Amino acid sequence: MWAYVIGVALGDGNLSNPNGRAIRLRVTCDARYPILGKHIISSLKFLLPNNAVSIVRVPGKNSYFNISVYSNEFKTWLPWQVGRGTKESQGAHVPVWIMRNKSYIKECLKGLIQTDGSIYRDRGYLMVNFTNHTRSLARDVYDMLVASGYRPTLTSTPSNRGKTKYTVRLAREAQRLIDDLNLFKA
């Protein structure tokens, strides 16, 4: 379960320490996918049964909500640190213990694709994409897909904000990946 939550956190998570005592993980969720939000909440509650997991609505923002939980265990589990810059500047990556285990790879990929991925049709072909501005993370997603028997592509394009956008795309066997990871956004 930690592998899934690490994938979610690497995708749409943010770390802070607003009270100076405990690290807060905040995961931003698209309001169009309430079932995914509930799944993330139940995963966090399972891993941190003694910690309050809450939904934080942003006034005037109906298109998304935040899931928030405090725990100093995040220092141990998450591959970037609070107060040291963005995931991108810290070169956030998938931990080695996940990269070495096929079942952990599947769970982490699921979290990453559900947050920073998309499933769509292009000219009638089903596609799965993962996009991110963190090169090391995009490379990890590519490597995990290859280790799982898929043939993805990895491309980079400059964005209008001066950052490079990395895209890992799976065109062949997209349905097999969707089934294998039990991907959903609902």
pLDDT in tens, 73-105: 999 999 899 989 889 889 899 999 999 999 999
Instruction: Identify the residue whose tokens are 């090169």.
Output: 135
End-to-end CA distance of the chain: 20
Share of the chain above pLDDT 90, in %: 84
Question: Domain 96-181 sits in which CATH superfamily?
Answer: Homing endonucleases (3.10.28.10)
Report the pLDDT value the prediction gives residue 58, as an integer from 0 to 100.
Answer: 82
- Encode pLDDT of 160-170 as tens digits: 778 899 999 99
Report the pLDDT value the prediction gives residue 62, as an integer from 0 to 100.
Answer: 86
* Of 145, 147, 183, 149, the residue nearest 167 (C-alpha): 145
Query: DSSP secondary structure string, 18-79?
Result: TTSSS-EEEEEEETT-HHHHHHHHHHHHHH-TTS-EEEEEETTEEEEEEEEEE-TTHHHHSS
Q: Using 50, 70 and 90 to split pLDDT, how confident is the model at 134?
A: very high
What are the phi and psi torsion angles at 37 (to 5°)?
-60, -45
| Residue 44 one-letter amino acid | L
CB 95 within 8 A of CB 104: no
3-state secondary structure of 14: strand
Instruction: Identify the residue whose tokens are 């079932």.
Output: 35
Residue 143 has pLDDT above 90, yes or no: yes
- 2-77 and 96-181 agree in CATH topology: yes
Going by CATH, does the domain composed of 2-77 fall within 3.90.1150.10?
A: no
The C-alpha atoms of residue 158 and residue 86 are separated, in whole angstroms, by 18
| Residue 30 one-letter amino acid | D
Share of the chain above pLDDT 70, in %: 100
Domain ranges of the chain: 2-77, 96-181
CA dihedral 178, 111, 94, 118 (to 10 degrees): 60
Report the pLDDT value the prediction gives residue 184, as an integer from 0 to 100.
Answer: 82
Report the side by side order of strands in the sheet with 13-16.
Answer: 13-16, 24-30, 61-70, 53-58
The C-alpha atoms of residue 180 and residue 136 are separated, in whole angstroms, by 24
**H or E segment and range at residue 113:** helix 102-116
